[in-house]
Structure 1
Amino acid sequence: MAVDPIQTLPPPRSATDFFSDPLDSHPLWFQPDLFLSPNFDSDSYISELRTFVPFDTLRSELQAHLTSLNHELIDLINRDYADFVNLSTKLVDVDSAVVRMRAPLLELREKIEGFRGSVESSLVALKNGLEQRSEAAVTREVLELLLDTFHVVSKVEKLIKELPSVPADWSNGDVNSTEKNAASNGSIENGTNVRETQSMLLERIASEMNRLKFYIAHAQNLPFIQNMEKRIQGASLLLDASLGHCFVDGLEHRDENAIYNCLRAYAAIDNTSSAEEIFRMTIVAPLIQKIIPHGPSGGVVGASGDGLENDYQEIKKCIEKDCKFLLEISSAENSGLHVFDFLANSILKEVLSAIKKGKSGAFSPGRPTEFLINYKSSLDFLGHLEGYCPSRSAVTKFRAEAIYIEFMKQWNVGVYFSLRFQEIAGALDSALATTSLVPVHNSPSGNGSSQDLTLKQSVTLLESLRSCWREDFLILSCSDKFLRLTLQLLSRFSNWLSSGLAARKTGNTGSNSRYEWAASAVPNDFLYSSVANANHSRNMYTYYPWSCSSETDTLHQIIHDINCLATEVCGDYLEHVLQLLSSCSTDVLDLVKQSILQGGKSLNDLTPLAINAITDALVDEAVKGLKDVKAIATTFRMTNKPIPSRHSLYVSGLLSPLKKDFLDMEKHNPYLTRETIKELRYGAATEITGRYYDMVVEIVSVARKTESSLQRLKKGAQRRAGVSADVSDPSVSDTDKLCMQYFLDIQEYGRNLSTLGVDAKEIPAYRSLWQCVAPQDRQNVIDL
């Protein structure tokens, strides 16, 4: 009977569907062919994809692939549906076929198992044979090693006995003095050849001892080696003693061949420290003892002072004369003796020991001047030693030696800088802690040097700044600290000056003792230079009542000092610092330059504050004359004065603090530039005029309001009395007289400004004042 085909799902999209992807399209990372590989492993496949494909994406892709496979399976079944249905009907007598095939398969399995058993037994026998062979090889190797060790020990003992002219008691470290002196004096025939032959033999013994150490390192736990340990130690001690005496003999006679062979022997047995110590005790120590004498207990023997500069000069000569030959031998190219460091472990070690015992005070930073001299001499000495290094790598190795590091640790430059910091910063703090400005009587040289400065505080600052980079103060390794101190000094001075000027302006100087110098200077004290006073007669004080005493400095000098300091810091001082640090990188030099220029800018920023202080002092002194302005209004109001025809007397003294002769740079004050004086005059004149205007405007405004009220009252009284109010009063009012007087005054005031070099028309307050009091026909044109 017919069977209905399997109900299929909608077929996949056609491959010609250009508006959507077919169902069997997959991303590049998804390869279905890998599923058919016999070595396919799902876990490894997923672990590889999880690094760049999310699990959700992988799951959806696998589900889409499964759907595609189901569609394909259904298509295959539908295509061969008849064969699929008849498949079960074609399977006839399957059980009998299985029975027929089972017998040969069982027979084949038995044969395979028998063959496998024979192979496994052969494999076990082969492994046992290989293990026995390996054990035999190891045993043979150990036996050969023991035999070689025995032969080497015997050979070493035999070679030691063959050493020429070597007494038997060398093994105990003692040498018969008669035989040694005979050998040393050359009484033995061909003594040089004997030393050279002896050194060559010792080098050979050392090479054999090196082999022996290698054998012992590989068989040190064996009983045979342990039984030979005494013989080996005896041979080693005898070799060390013989090699030491031969090396000493070669050093005393400067036998280069013998020394070279001995050094190669020491290098072969890896005992470089013994050679370095022998050289130190035999050659270096007696030389240093003569230069820096000291007793065995560390006491000073005949030492004078703790200076090291002369001692280093003598040591350099001794090294050149008595040590250079060995340094040249050990540093010869392709000599194999680079493992020795006689510079550090022999020469520098002995020098350090002698200084500690004989001149321990040389390392003390408690005396900064002597400490710095010794420190720089020591650095020069180390540089001299580095000159014997044949290459840069040798210099690096020399600086990495423990004795070099220990030598540098003796110089506590941190404590030295702390003492210098207290000395330099303390001097400036003491100068700034005074309750008044202290002048120094110098004649300005005009070159920006310390001779130009006029205040002790400024001179102390410049000296402190220069001390930071003086040769007898500076340590280049602490240059960063000295640069920071330089900037701190500039900041300290700037804060002291700016805070004092600000406190003086606000009137808070009495609340802080640091600003007493600003409080002690009354406004009049800022108007004349003490140096100028010293150069003029005492009659000057009677001519200028606002001048200060010779003990009080002025803000004129402060401005001058600020300009000198800023010029010096940003000029020669900066160049000097950059020259000292010329070995630094360009980036470092740029940062140093920017920081110092910023410090100079902080000084320049103080100039406007000082100018404002001078201006305030001048204005405060000048406006005292404005009290007569109000008196004029009272006079016109209380008396029937005629129309004024000349200016008031107070106008002549109003600008007295700004008289040209007073601020004339050539005559009285060489510390202010023409530009500064001009700025001071204009600023003070502007401020005085502004106050003058405020006072006059207020008086005139009150007068006009009063006059207007009186006129209204008068008109009311006339109306009540039946008198016509249209009749105008032909007389000039008091307000008009007052304005006329003020007009004459400001005309004279403007002329006085002109004599000072200040154009009154350029002052806005003066123009407003003119318009306030000038007659109607003259308000638009200022005519002095």
Structure 2
Amino acid sequence: MADLIPPPHRSANDLFSDPLDSHPLWFKPNLFLSPNFDSESYISELRTFVPFDTLRSQLHSHLSALNRELIDLINRDYTDFVNLSTKLVDVEAAVVRMRAPLVELREKIEQFRASVEFSLSALQNGLRQRSEAASAREVLELLLDTFHVVSKVEKLIKELPSAPADGSNGTTNLTDNSGLSNGASLPHMENGTNLRETQSMLLERISSEMNRLKFYIAHAQNLPFIQNMDKRIQSASLLLDTSLGHCFVDGLAHHDENAIYNCLRAYAAIDNTTSAEEIFRSTVVSPAIHKVIPHKVSGMDAGSSDDDLENDYKQMKQYIDKDCKFLLEISATENSGLHVFDFLANSILKEVLSAIQKAKPGAFSPGRPTEFLKNYKSSLDFLAYLEGYCPSRSAVAKFRAASVYNEFMKQWNIGVYFSLRLQEIAGALDSSLSAPILTPVQTSSSGRVNNEDLTLKQSVTLLDCLTACWRDDVLVLSCSDKFLRLSLQLLSRYSNWLSSGLAARNTGTGSHPGSEWAVAATPDDLIYIIHDLGYLSTVVTGNFLETILQLLSSCTVDVLDSVKQSILHGGKSLYNLMPKVIGAIVASLVEKSVEDLRQLKGITATYRMTNKPLPVRHSPYVSGLLRPLKVLLDGDRASTFLTMETRTALLTDAVTEITSRYYEQAADLVSLARKTDSSLQKIRQGVQRRAGASSDVSDHNISDTDKICMQLFLDIQEYGRNLSSLGVEAASIPTYLSFWHLVAPSDKQSSISF
């Protein structure tokens, strides 16, 4: 059929191979024609299972096939391709015909744009002129309002003389002293309204107008018209302040609650609370305070004995309840807007501070800590009393944030007070610990110290200092962290004093300052220390800790836990020193016992190269080995002050160490004896061999080593009996077992018997 497309041309080399345009199954050229084709993602996807060289080779092959196909297409339609340029006839004329309407359209658009821009400019100018006119109108209205308000204020001020400021002729139709409840609206001016209340109401009205006038001036203060009216405004403001002050003073003098309420609202309206607070201070508070603390001559001694403030504060409270309470209740009226006043701080507290500074400056001096702390606590109680007049927590916070409150608190230099207490308390302990010897406390009438009390003055001083840190006449709760640190430092100072002393005792030198006591102390003195350490650790972790936690009960749980752990650590540090003290006692006892052990050398001299028979009784020195320990434990101090647990620990450590030293010297003695016997035996055997005698002539003789071992065996039996008399089982001591096996005869090695 003629319409059929001929098959692709194939060369002879392609007859039995794949077509030239064949591709692997993984290579799909159709994907290149996709509008969303992404070469990077395509290559990264193929590279997961196709080697890069294979992929590159296949792409090059596909590019070559495309180039051949393009050439074939050009060659096939070459005639049409060449005739393409010849068919484009009169193209420039067509372009000219199309350009003419486009140019005309552009000109119309430019004309329309110019017209729009002109209209927009005209519109913007009109809006700007309108805005300027509105602004000018606002300024004009503001100036007119300002002028009207100034005129109104002046007119109202002129009406004030019609209401006498002194109020001496006014009727006294006053309400009761309960104040205005819930900020009730001002009473209407009826026939029965007194002149003082009328004047106060008029002043409140003037104040509101003056407040509005201030608002106008704040928005137009740079205008010449306002500047020209400045003298009138200042004059009106001065007259208002004067009249308002007279009316407020008159209201305070007559306790006219309505007049005072209106005056306070007037002061609040013109934002002049300072004047009202100062008038109340000078008119009411100052005379009352001066009755309590009259002014003194400036040359009075600042440290005189009448600097006590406790009675003064009591009288001040009475005067405040009598003369100031009514105003404080008025200013605390709910929803009245009078919360802006702070009469507590700026009137009452300010006057109290000034009076104390002038009349009793010594009350603030920490040089006398006891009086200072008493005045400080009285002052805190007075501040708490003043806070009782605050109607809410926010009012209390405002009172405490006042500058006068902070200035009042700064007068009490708690840092210097604590430094003085620190020197006093820590100095007492340092003075006691610097003594060259241990100082026992005074004995009772029977001549013995009670075992429930401390025995050394150093320990008593420590406990007194710890207790002093938390006494009511010493502690300042705001410095409780410092006093806690001081308590821990006292415990550490005492522990270091003991540790350094015991260390110096071990070295045998007292050159270290403060350690002379340890070198000179006897084992009986160290028993005092053991008792005091146990007593102190019990008190510190018991009653002392409970006292601190009770005083700090208002703190958080985390703070209380930290305090508890620190105190427990301090008490434990004392208790942990007891083994060191016991070790020092044991060392002293061992040194005394070692002196008797020197007699062991006499055993060798007794049986070496002699014909003495086997010993049948123990050596005399054995009874002296445990005598120092027995004397110590049977003494009055050990019987009185050592607990059973401590006594057992001391006994166990002492006998273990003495037995160990005893065994070491005995082992050396036996070892040397055996070496000597071995050498002598070899010499005898050599002599006998030269003489032709039998070598076993002396084998049946008892050697010197056997005699020495027998003597040592008898000695440790006696030593074991002495241990039993002290309540110690000899078999429980490992070195005693080793000693037994070293010197016991072969028939008694298996069992220990005395």
Q: Structure 2: how far apart are the matches of 1:411 and 1:164?
A: 49
Larger mean CA deviation between 357-366 and 302-311 belongs to: 302-311
Given the superposition, is the C-alpha separation of residues 301 and 375 from structure 1 closer, same or farther in structure 2, using an over 3 Å criterion?
Answer: closer
Q: Structure 2: how far apart are the matches of 1:245 and 1:593?
A: 61
Given the superposition, is the C-alpha separation of residues 432 and 299 from structure 1 closer, same or farther in structure 2, using an over 3 Å criterion?
Answer: closer
Superposed, 1:237-636 pairs within 5 Å as 237-295=238-296, 305-441=306-442, 452-507=453-508, 509-521=509-521, 525-526=522-523, 528=524, 554-636=525-607
Determine whether 1:159 maps to 2:156: yes
Q: Structure 2: how far apart are the matches of 1:710 and 1:510?
A: 50
Aligned to 1:644: 615
1:734 Cα offset (Å): 3.1
Determine whether 1:778 maps to 2:738: no
Given the superposition, is the C-alpha separation of residues 334 and 133 from structure 1 closer, same or farther in structure 2, using an over 3 Å criterion?
Answer: same
Q: Structure 2: how far apart are the matches of 1:761 and 1:239?
A: 108
Q: Structure 1: how far apart are the matches of 2:274 and 2:299?
A: 24
Q: Structure 2: how far apart are the matches of 1:706 and 1:107?
A: 143
Determine whether 1:674 maps to 2:644: yes
Larger mean CA deviation between 568-577 and 130-139 belongs to: 130-139
Q: Structure 2: how far apart are the matches of 1:361 and 1:190?
A: 57
Larger mean CA deviation between 718-727 and 293-302 belongs to: 293-302
What do residues 337-361 of structure 1 show as CA deviations (whole Å, max 9, x unaligned)?
1111111111111111111111111
Paired residues of 2:437 and 2:520 also in contact (CA < 8 A): yes
Q: Structure 2: how far apart are the matches of 1:160 and 1:729?
A: 144
What do residues 666-709 of structure 1 show as CA deviations (whole Å, max 9, x unaligned)?
88531111121111112111111111112222222222222332
Aligned to 2:125: 128
Given the superposition, is the C-alpha separation of residues 651 and 451 from structure 1 closer, same or farther in structure 2, using an over 3 Å criterion?
Answer: closer
Aligned to 1:700: 670
Paired residues of 1:450 and 1:459 also in contact (CA < 8 A): no
The letter for the 2-side match of 1:155 is K
Q: Structure 1: how far apart are the matches of 2:559 and 2:712?
A: 65
Paired residues of 2:437 and 2:518 also in contact (CA < 8 A): yes
Indicate which of 709, 720, 734 corresponds to 1:739.
Answer: 709
Q: Structure 2: how far apart are the matches of 1:758 and 1:718?
A: 51
Given the superposition, is the C-alpha separation of residues 235 and 652 from structure 1 closer, same or farther in structure 2, using an over 3 Å criterion?
Answer: same
Question: Which runs of no fewer than 5 residues in structure 1 stay unpaired?
Answer: 1-7, 28-63, 168-174, 529-553
1:261 Cα offset (Å): 0.6
1:497 Cα offset (Å): 0.6
1:330 Cα offset (Å): 0.9
Q: Structure 1: how far apart are the matches of 2:86 and 2:634?
A: 137
Paired residues of 1:149 and 1:212 also in contact (CA < 8 A): yes
Given the superposition, is the C-alpha separation of residues 216 and 704 from structure 1 closer, same or farther in structure 2, using an over 3 Å criterion?
Answer: same
Paired residues of 1:665 and 1:671 also in contact (CA < 8 A): no
Larger mean CA deviation between 715-724 and 130-139 belongs to: 715-724
What's the TM-score once normalised by structure 2's chain length? 0.84
Given the superposition, is the C-alpha separation of residues 226 and 287 from structure 1 closer, same or farther in structure 2, using an over 3 Å criterion?
Answer: same
Q: Structure 2: how far apart are the matches of 1:645 and 1:303?
A: 89
Q: Structure 1: how far apart are the matches of 2:224 and 2:451?
A: 86
Paired residues of 2:609 and 2:704 also in contact (CA < 8 A): no
The letter for the 2-side match of 1:24 is D
Q: Structure 1: how far apart are the matches of 2:206 and 2:260?
A: 16
Given the superposition, is the C-alpha separation of residues 381 and 665 from structure 1 closer, same or farther in structure 2, using an over 3 Å criterion?
Answer: farther
Question: Which runs of no fewer than 5 residues in structure 2 stay unpaired?
Answer: 1-20, 42-58, 174-189
Aligned to 2:144: 147
Paired residues of 1:266 and 1:275 also in contact (CA < 8 A): yes
| 1:334 counterpart SS class | coil
Given the superposition, is the C-alpha separation of residues 22 and 99 from structure 1 closer, same or farther in structure 2, using an over 3 Å criterion?
Answer: closer
Aligned to 1:95: 92
What do residues 475-495 of structure 1 show as CA deviations (whole Å, max 9, x unaligned)?
111111111112111111111
Aligned to 2:235: 234
Aligned to 1:24: 38
What's the TM-score once normalised by structure 1's chain length? 0.81
Paired residues of 2:502 and 2:581 also in contact (CA < 8 A): yes
Given the superposition, is the C-alpha separation of residues 630 and 296 from structure 1 closer, same or farther in structure 2, using an over 3 Å criterion?
Answer: closer
| 1:305 counterpart SS class | coil
What do residues 62-106 of structure 1 show as CA deviations (whole Å, max 9, x unaligned)?
xx9xx99xx9xx99x989999988765554323223333333334
Determine whether 1:765 maps to 2:730: no
What do residues 131-186 of structure 1 show as CA deviations (whole Å, max 9, x unaligned)?
3222222222222111111111111111011125556xxxxxxx8xxx66555999
1:656 Cα offset (Å): 0.8
Q: Structure 2: how far apart are the matches of 1:643 and 1:717?
A: 26
1:601 Cα offset (Å): 1.6
1:557 Cα offset (Å): 1.1
Q: Structure 2: how far apart are the matches of 1:560 and 1:451?
A: 9
What do residues 317-370 of structure 1 show as CA deviations (whole Å, max 9, x unaligned)?
222221111111111111011111111111111111111111111111111111
| 1:436 counterpart SS class | coil
What do residues 193-228 of structure 1 show as CA deviations (whole Å, max 9, x unaligned)?
111110000000000001111111111122221111
Q: Structure 2: how far apart are the matches of 1:110 and 1:650?
A: 140
Q: Structure 1: how far apart are the matches of 2:734 and 2:127?
A: 117
| 2:389 counterpart SS class | coil
Paired residues of 1:293 and 1:300 also in contact (CA < 8 A): no
1:735 Cα offset (Å): 2.8
Q: Structure 2: how far apart are the matches of 1:315 and 1:306?
A: 15
| 1:452 counterpart SS class | coil
1:639 Cα offset (Å): 4.9
Alignment root-mean-square deviation, CA: 3.5
Paired residues of 1:293 and 1:303 also in contact (CA < 8 A): no
Q: Structure 1: how far apart are the matches of 2:333 and 2:647?
A: 75
Paired residues of 1:159 and 1:205 also in contact (CA < 8 A): yes
Q: Structure 2: how far apart are the matches of 1:250 and 1:348?
A: 22
Given the superposition, is the C-alpha separation of residues 213 and 650 from structure 1 closer, same or farther in structure 2, using an over 3 Å criterion?
Answer: same
Paired residues of 1:199 and 1:262 also in contact (CA < 8 A): yes
The letter for the 1-side match of 2:121 is V
1:288 Cα offset (Å): 0.7
| 1:437 counterpart SS class | coil
Q: Structure 1: how far apart are the matches of 2:297 and 2:167?
A: 27
The percent of aligned pairs where both chains have the same amino acid is: 68
Q: Structure 2: how far apart are the matches of 1:158 and 1:361?
A: 55
The letter for the 2-side match of 1:147 is L
Larger mean CA deviation between 319-328 and 87-96 belongs to: 87-96
Given the superposition, is the C-alpha separation of residues 585 and 697 from structure 1 closer, same or farther in structure 2, using an over 3 Å criterion?
Answer: same
| 1:220 counterpart SS class | coil
The letter for the 1-side match of 2:557 is T
Given the superposition, is the C-alpha separation of residues 752 and 576 from structure 1 closer, same or farther in structure 2, using an over 3 Å criterion?
Answer: same
Paired residues of 2:615 and 2:707 also in contact (CA < 8 A): yes
| 1:513 counterpart SS class | coil
